[in-house]
Amino acid sequence: MLKTFYLVLFLSLFASDRAFAESLQTLTLDDCIQLAIANATTVLKADNAVKSSGAQVMQTYAQFLPNLQATANYDYADGRTYTVYPTPTKIYSRTYGPSYQLSSSINIFNGFSDYANLKSALDKKQSNEWTLARAKQQISIDVAQAFLQVILDQELVTISKENVKVSEERQNLLKEQTRLGIRDLSDLYRQEAQTSSDEASLITIANKLHDDEIQLSKRIRLDTSKNYAFVDKGLDSLRNSFEDENEEVLIKKALDQRMDYLASKKILSAADWNIDAVQSNYYPKVDLNANVSGAGRRAIKQYVDGVNTTPAQQDALWTQLRHNDVFDIGVSFTWILYDRNVTRYASTQAHIDKSNASIDLEDQRLQVISDVRQASGDLKAAKRRLLAADKGVKASEKAFETVQERYNVGSSSFLDLISAQSTLIDARSTKAEAQIDTLLQERVLNNAVGI
């Protein structure tokens, strides 16, 4: 009966672990970036800005087309009027009827205001598109940093587990050797303390991995009801090939392709076109106008100086509407000679906006230059650290093997062995950090140059 219970318990635990493994979703760096871009509020807002600017462009295009307006009216009139031409006359009438009017107008010249507004709108749309693209790039580097931190934590956990395993194996060996009287009891106690310290370090590192995974999940807004595994597949897919290039060359490339810098240049261009649009109010405006209208009236009563003059027969309203059309086409010329300094103020404000955009562009240029120089220097330093860390690991491995062999034959102390082991763990951890830092700095340089 007891065997049956343990069998059922084992099968249930096995099934649970299998279900957990099947429900585990594996995510690479590219997967995380795509999820972050799809869910980021900054991207969603930037995308809305692109849509809004696209609608504005369509609206400015439409300014080159004629408008069309239709009005219709049906009214009832009852009252008296008094005229003095050709002779003083009193008229009382009661009438009703419909009327309509179609009107269209197209601008021939307005000081190039429509053209300037169109160019400004196109520049703003391009600026918003580049801002959206840069927002995606920025999200990519932010996610990469959080993702690589998780990968580093995983590597440090692996190193710590291996260290704990070595300590446990040595502790078990020392127990047997102490029992046989080969080793001193103090070495066993020191090893037990070291094993406990290694286990505590493993717990701390594992907990940091857990916390960093949560932070990464929050950053890309994952569904917390599901299970995820972050793997380092494809981390070498975005390696740069210009880390050895001159900084001036990198800066030139960045100024040619950094989305945020190009967006600032378009904002400056849009501000310049906006000045032309505002100053177009100083010029006259010429419009071509066309109208067609018609009306129909039926008199219920009509008295002229008290005499009933109501027509005995009247045309039908529909007939009047068909035959009483009036067509009108002409050109209008409008020139506002004085608008109480409205245009002057708007022109001054437009020049200030252009000046501010120029200041922002210069700030952005300096930011690009500093980003490239810092990223280039950080990458070179990361590569040097990686080379140094690799040498440190090789030296620490040889030192640990030597001290361990000497300890086994009794020519080295236990403290020397523990110190060599600790140095090896530190060297392996430093190399892991240098590897991840190099991968991150390569992406930071790519981002700084505008890739």
Residues 6+ apart with CB under 8 A from 52: 128
| Residue ranges of domains in the chain, CATH in brackets | 2-39+112-283+339-449 (1.20.1600.10), 67-109+285-334 (2.20.200)
User: CA torsion 337→342→345→346, rounded to 10°?
Assistant: -100
Helices (H), 317-341: 317-323
pTM of the model: 0.82
User: CA torsion 85→89→93→95, rounded to 10°?
Assistant: -10
DSSP string over 381-405:
HHHHHHHHHHHHHHHHHHHHHHHHH
Cβ atoms of 246 and 380 closer than 8 Å:
no
Backbone angles phi, psi at 419, to 5 degrees: -65, -40
Determine what percent of the chain falls in helix, strand and coil, rounding each to the nearest 5: 70, 15, 15
DSSP 412: S
Cα–Cα distance, 260 to 132 (Å, whole number): 9
Q: Count CB atoms within 10 A of the CB of residue 177.
A: 15
Q: What does R_g of the chain's alpha carbons equal in angstroms?
A: 42
Q: Count CB atoms within 10 A of the CB of residue 220.
A: 23
The two three-digit tokens of residue 126, written as one number: 């391009």
Tell me if the bond preceding 86 is cis, omega within 30° of 0. yes
- The ranges of the chain with pLDDT < 70 are 1-23, 224, 236-244
- Classify each residue of 320-349 as buried b or exposed e, where b means 16 or more C-beta atoms within 10 Å of its C-beta: bbeeeeeeeeeeeeeeeeeeeeebeebbee
Cβ atoms of 376 and 431 closer than 8 Å:
no
Cβ atoms of 304 and 261 closer than 8 Å:
no
Residues 6+ apart with CB under 8 A from 401: none
Q: Which of 227, 236, 264, 252 is nearest to 373 (CA)?
A: 252
Cα–Cα distance, 92 to 102 (Å, whole number): 31
Q: Give 289's strand partners.
A: 105, 330
Residue 232: per-residue pLDDT: 84
The two three-digit tokens of residue 418, written as one number: 């523990």
Query: Which tens digits make up the pLDDT trace of 47-92?
Result: 999 999 999 999 999 999 999 999 999 999 999 988 887 888 888 8
The two three-digit tokens of residue 431, written as one number: 């190399």
Cα–Cα distance, 307 to 321 (Å, whole number): 28
Cβ atoms of 243 and 381 closer than 8 Å:
no
Helices (H), 220-295: 247-257, 259-279
- Classify each residue of 119-137 as buried b or exposed e, where b means 16 or more C-beta atoms within 10 Å of its C-beta: bbbbbbbbbbbbbbbbbbb
Backbone angles phi, psi at 299, to 5 degrees: -90, 125
Cα–Cα distance, 350 to 356 (Å, whole number): 10
Kindly list the distances between the CA atom of residue 125 and the CA atoms of 275, 343, 356, 400, 423, in Å, as whole numbers in the listed order. Answer: 18, 26, 19, 63, 57
Cα–Cα distance, 229 to 150 (Å, whole number): 10
